[in-house]
Amino acid sequence: MLSKQKIKFLNSLKMAKHRNTHKLFIAEGNINVRDFIRYGMKPAELYVTERWIERNPEQIEGVDYVEVSSDELKKVTALKNPSEVLAVFAMPETNTDFNVTNDELTLVLDDIKDPGNFGTIIRSADWFGVRNIICSTETVDAYNPKVVQASMGSIARVSVSYTDLPEWLAAHKGINIFGAVLDGKPLKEAVQAGKGILIIGSEAHGIGEEVMEFVNNPVTIPHGRGGGAESLNASIATAILLYAFVNR
């Protein structure tokens, strides 16, 4: 059973300031929780319904859990349609001091605001083997419940860090820095330069001026024949670009 105090605490983790204070975040749904546990992350707290236990006995072997009702989960869920499992995990340690080369791809996000887009971007990065995402401090929190949900467990396998982007980019001279823009080199041509750093800008304004100064390889996804859309959704554009770079 969930106490009023516990309900209040779990709901507080929906807000970034409380997540950062406690260094904890919530994951909901069978796929998300399963993938975190499979990846070696032990839940700090695990809340499950009787029905979920019956269907997933192997997932709770050696794991402490609290059996709750569906009505109790409804009081703490961030989902429109509550699942039967909710877990609290410690935020993994991250750092921006890893080796960046032109032989592999590092994804950089500048001011991505939409949680759903961000979660989908993380999922695409995982699919294409990108292991590091560097974000501007204005980018939405990676452990926002909507981001975690949209990532479908991929955030367990992709490291997401936040930093001052101009300062971080300035430390990587000699690296290909690709920027997704509307008037750059056609994608097929741009990928011939190799890999490196790929920057995706905000949905509304694109890559910021300070960050754009470091871009030495602007890249554009060409319109299809007869295409008339003004731009692509950030998550769709990212997936197309990642595919092109990984399979060049």
| Residue 189's CATH number | 3.40.1280.10
- For residue 53, what is the domain's CATH number? 3.30.1330.30
pLDDT tens string 182-224: 999 999 999 898 899 999 999 888 999 999 999 999 999 988 7
Q: Mark 85-94 as b/e (b = at least 16 C-beta within 10 Å).
A: bbbbbeeeee
pLDDT value at position 113?
A: 96
Which residue range forms the structural domain that includes residue 80?
Answer: 4-90
DSSP state of 7: H
pLDDT value at position 193?
A: 87
Q: Look over the chain and give the mean of its residue pLDDT values, rounded to a whole number.
A: 92
pLDDT value at position 26?
A: 96
User: Measuring CA to CA, how many Å separate 76 from each of 45, 79, 116, 212?
Assistant: 13, 9, 20, 41
**Residues 121 and 238 both lie in one domain:** yes
**Residues 74 and 154 both lie in one domain:** no
Q: Is residue 53 part of a domain?
A: yes
The whole-angstrom separation of Cα 153 and Cα 32 is: 4
Residues 161-177, mean pLDDT to the nearest whole number: 96
Using the 3D structure, point to which of 56, 90, 124 is the last residue of a domain.
Answer: 90
Judged against a pLDDT cut of 80, whether residue 73 lies above it is answered with yes
**Residues 49 and 116 both lie in one domain:** no
**Residues 44 and 144 both lie in one domain:** no
What's the structural domain count of the chain? 2
pLDDT value at position 66?
A: 93
Using the 3D structure, point to which of 58, 90, 122 is the last residue of a domain.
Answer: 90
- Return the minimum-mean-pLDDT range out of 8-12, 30-34, 131-135, 194-198: 30-34
**Residues 37 and 136 both lie in one domain:** no
The whole-angstrom separation of Cα 16 and Cα 103 is: 35
Sequence letter at residue 135: C
**Residues 121 and 213 both lie in one domain:** yes
Q: Which residues contact 188 (CB under 8 A, 6 or more apart)?
A: 244
- Return the minimum-mean-pLDDT range out of 2-16, 78-92, 223-237: 223-237
Using the 3D structure, point to which of 67, 90, 113 is the last residue of a domain.
Answer: 90
More confident residue, 59 or 93: 93
pLDDT value at position 172?
A: 95
**Residues 53 and 125 both lie in one domain:** no
User: Measuring CA to CA, how many Å separate 128 from each of 3, 22, 52, 80?
Assistant: 42, 32, 31, 29
pLDDT tens string 25-61: 999 998 899 889 888 888 999 999 999 999 888 877 7
The whole-angstrom separation of Cα 222 and Cα 107 is: 20
**Residues 119 and 235 both lie in one domain:** yes
Run of H or E residues at 55: helix 50-55
**Residues 60 and 127 both lie in one domain:** no
**Residues 60 and 26 both lie in one domain:** yes
CB 220 within 8 A of CB 184: yes
Tell me the pLDDT band of 226, cut-offs 50, 70 and 90.
low
Tokens of 149: 């949900």
**Residues 162 and 215 both lie in one domain:** yes
**Residues 111 and 169 both lie in one domain:** yes
More confident residue, 184 or 81: 184
Q: Is residue 96 part of a domain?
A: no
Judged against a pLDDT cut of 70, whether residue 128 lies above it is answered with yes
What percent of the chain is predicted at pLDDT more than 70? Answer: 99
pLDDT value at position 232?
A: 85
